[in-house]
Structure 1
Amino acid sequence: MPDQHSTLRAQRRAETQRMIQAHAVRLFTGRGYDATTVTDVAEAAGVSPMTVYRHFPTKEDLVLVDQHGRLVAERIVASSAAQPLVRRIGGALIDSAATLTGGGHGDDTEAGKQFLLARLRLMISTPALRAKHLDNHYALQQAIVDALGDDAADPDTAFRAQVAASACLAALHAALVRWAEDDGRTELPDVIAKALAAAFGDDIV
């Protein structure tokens, strides 16, 4: 039973987090990021500002926090160590993007895609979010290296993993910007694959 209670608590926490973030992105998009306060978000979501901060320690996190790092790490762990690093990392980025943009059915999938597009547009247009995104970039790079585990255990292999992750994430960033500018008319995994191929060659994806 304790495990069931823990699972229910985690589900409720995730639902509350998604609800707060949805209100935040809606307000930021409609009013402007700088013109919207955390108190405004709390009032729209029907929670206290303290609850918002419990889920999102900073205002920037209301836009940038997602499950991307966890999804990428899971896919890297599941990938074959016999593959080149860039292929493993690139494949994980493509697969996680497919989950983020196509995890539902019908209207759910479209809503998820539009929500991600709104967040990306805010990130691109807001200087404070661009700066915070760089922090997230480093965190995702480290999550990738950690997911490689023993395959990046010694300093030399860890360095190679960091370089490979950084290069793949640079391609990912370019793909995300292109996808947002194109209003999501193409499939995000395809745009990421195209960016990776431009950086590393067609045989890498």
Structure 2
Amino acid sequence: MGLLVTNIAWVRTRADTREALQRAALDLFLARGYDATPTAAVARAAGVSEMTLFRHFSSKETLLLHDPYDPQIAQEVAGRPVDERPMRAVVEGIRSAWRAVDPGDAAQLRARLRIVAEATTLRGALERNSEATVAALTDALITRGATASAARVAATAVIAGLSTALLDWARSDRDDLGAALGRALDTLGGG
């Protein structure tokens, strides 16, 4: 029993460390700029070693771009009606998944995406980070019966379109996230 309690405490500590690192990174990237902030400074601000930072995040880029929503989005896409075309299934699955996102996350998302849009070393980062999302959506579509090719095309097209829309939204102070996503999804869905 003592080992179980210790392991549960360790998991909480690990989650707390990840959150502290991401919070410190966002604060420092906003204050100093992404390119001017070394990982050692992020680790120091979070109260851990740089080695600990890299145990939690494989790179400086992943500190900023870690996306916890992929499983939820893939589940929504997989649950769409089987007679729905792949593109429509992805669009409506994402629309449904985003309704469940805490509105408080929008301000943090805008800040993270604004950093991506402004940092020259992060050009292409969103696309690289989207590979896991495309793979999760592709698998969800294949589970529904789509061919591998159709699934990959639909998933890639929607994620590329959303990335463009989200970066435009992050660069501006217009709209809330829901309105920007809604317009992008309407366009991607043929509306």
Using structure 1 for the length normalisation, give the TM-score. 0.81
Contact 1:98 1:188 (8 Å CA) reproduced: no
Contact 2:113 2:170 (8 Å CA) reproduced: yes
Q: Quote the Cα distance in structure 2 between the aligned partners of 1:16 and 1:74.
A: 28
Which residue number corresponds to residue 105 of structure 1?
Answer: none
Which residue number corresponds to residue 143 of structure 1?
Answer: 136
1:70 and 2:63 matched: no
Q: Cα–Cα, structure 1 residues 93 and 9, in superposed 2: closer, same or farther, change >3 Å?
A: farther
Contact 1:42 1:48 (8 Å CA) reproduced: yes
Q: Quote the Cα distance in structure 2 between the aligned partners of 1:41 and 1:90.
A: 36
Q: Quote the Cα distance in structure 2 between the aligned partners of 1:19 and 1:99.
A: 24
Q: Cα–Cα, structure 1 residues 85 and 132, in superposed 2: closer, same or farther, change >3 Å?
A: same
Which residue number corresponds to residue 161 of structure 2?
Answer: 171
Which residue number corresponds to residue 37 of structure 1?
Answer: 38
What are the equivalent positions in structure 2 for 1:67-106 lying under 5 Å apart? 67-102=68-103
Deviation at 1:196, TM superposition (A): 2.5
Which residue number corresponds to residue 106 of structure 1?
Answer: none
Give the number of equivalent residue pairs.
190
1:189 and 2:189 matched: no
Which residue number corresponds to residue 17 of structure 1?
Answer: 18
Q: Cα–Cα, structure 1 residues 151 and 113, in superposed 2: closer, same or farther, change >3 Å?
A: closer
Deviation at 1:124, TM superposition (A): 0.9
Q: Cα–Cα, structure 1 residues 136 and 89, in superposed 2: closer, same or farther, change >3 Å?
A: same
What are the equivalent positions in structure 2 for 1:43-62 lying under 5 Å apart? 43-62=44-63
Contact 1:145 1:152 (8 Å CA) reproduced: no
1:59-100 deviation per Cα after TM superposition (whole angstroms, max 9, x unaligned): 111111120222212222333323221222112222333344
For structure 2, which runs of at least 5 residues remain unmatched after alignment?
Answer: none
Contact 1:152 1:161 (8 Å CA) reproduced: no
Residue from 117, 123, 137 that aligns with 1:130: 123
Larger proportion of helix: 1
Deviation at 1:50, TM superposition (A): 1.1
1:144-186 deviation per Cα after TM superposition (whole angstroms, max 9, x unaligned): 1122343357xxx110011111111122112202321232x42
Which residue number corresponds to residue 199 of structure 1?
Answer: 188
Deviation at 1:135, TM superposition (A): 1.3
Q: Cα–Cα, structure 1 residues 77 and 14, in superposed 2: closer, same or farther, change >3 Å?
A: farther
Q: Quote the Cα distance in structure 2 between the aligned partners of 1:134 and 1:50.
A: 27
1:12-44 deviation per Cα after TM superposition (whole angstroms, max 9, x unaligned): 333321221011011011011121111100110
Residue 161 of structure 2 aligns to a residue in which SS? Answer: helix
Q: Cα–Cα, structure 1 residues 132 and 160, in superposed 2: closer, same or farther, change >3 Å?
A: same
Residue 190 of structure 1 aligns to a residue in which SS? Answer: helix
Contact 2:91 2:189 (8 Å CA) reproduced: no
Residue 60 of structure 1 aligns to a residue in which SS? Answer: helix
Amino acid paired to 1:30: A
Amino acid paired to 2:121: A
Q: Quote the Cα distance in structure 2 between the aligned partners of 1:46 and 1:55.
A: 14
1:158 and 2:148 matched: yes
